[in-house]
Amino acid sequence: MLQRIGAIYLLGVSVVVAGYFIINPLHAESYDPANIWSVLDVLMVIAAVPALIFNTRRKLREGRPSDGEPPSHRYWETNIVFYATIGLTILLLHNWFYDLALGLEVGDHQGFVKWAFVDTLLPLTFGATGFAMWRGSEQG
C-alpha cells in the first residue's frame, strides 16, 4: 500500500511539473511564476526521497549480469533510472539550496538553464520510477 502511495505521488508530481513547465511561459507576464515554482520545488525534493529509495532497492536486487551473459533489458533500465535519479537529485538539491540562499535573479541565464534541465528530466525519471513502483506493488 505504501508503495502505491509513493507511485501515485511520483506520477502526480511528474505530471504537475511537466504541465506547469509547458504552460509557464504562456502566463508568466500576468503573475510571478516563482511563487508556484517555490511550491513545486518542495514537492520535487520530497518526491526525490521515495524515488531514491525505490531505485536503490531495485538496483541492489538486480545485481550484476552473470559472467559471459550480456546485460538484460531490465539491467539497463534499472541502472539508467538509478543513476539518472541520483544525478537529477544532486542537481535539484543544488538548484534549490542556491535559490533558497541567494534567490533566482531575472538575468541568471545559467540558473534558468539548470532548472529547465531539472524540470524536463524530472518528470521522465520520476514518472518512470512511479510506473515501476506501481507495477512492483501489483506483483507483491
| pLDDT value of residue 104 | 67
State the residue range of the domain holding 46: 2-139
Q: Is the pLDDT of residue 41 over 90?
A: yes
Please give the tally of structural domains in the chain.
1
CB-based contact 41:96 (threshold 8 Å): yes
pLDDT the model gives residue 27? 79
Tell me what the mean pLDDT of segment 38-54 comes to. 97
The closest of 26, 18, 69 to 44, measured between CA atoms, is 18
* Measured distance CA(61)–CA(54) in Å, rounded: 11
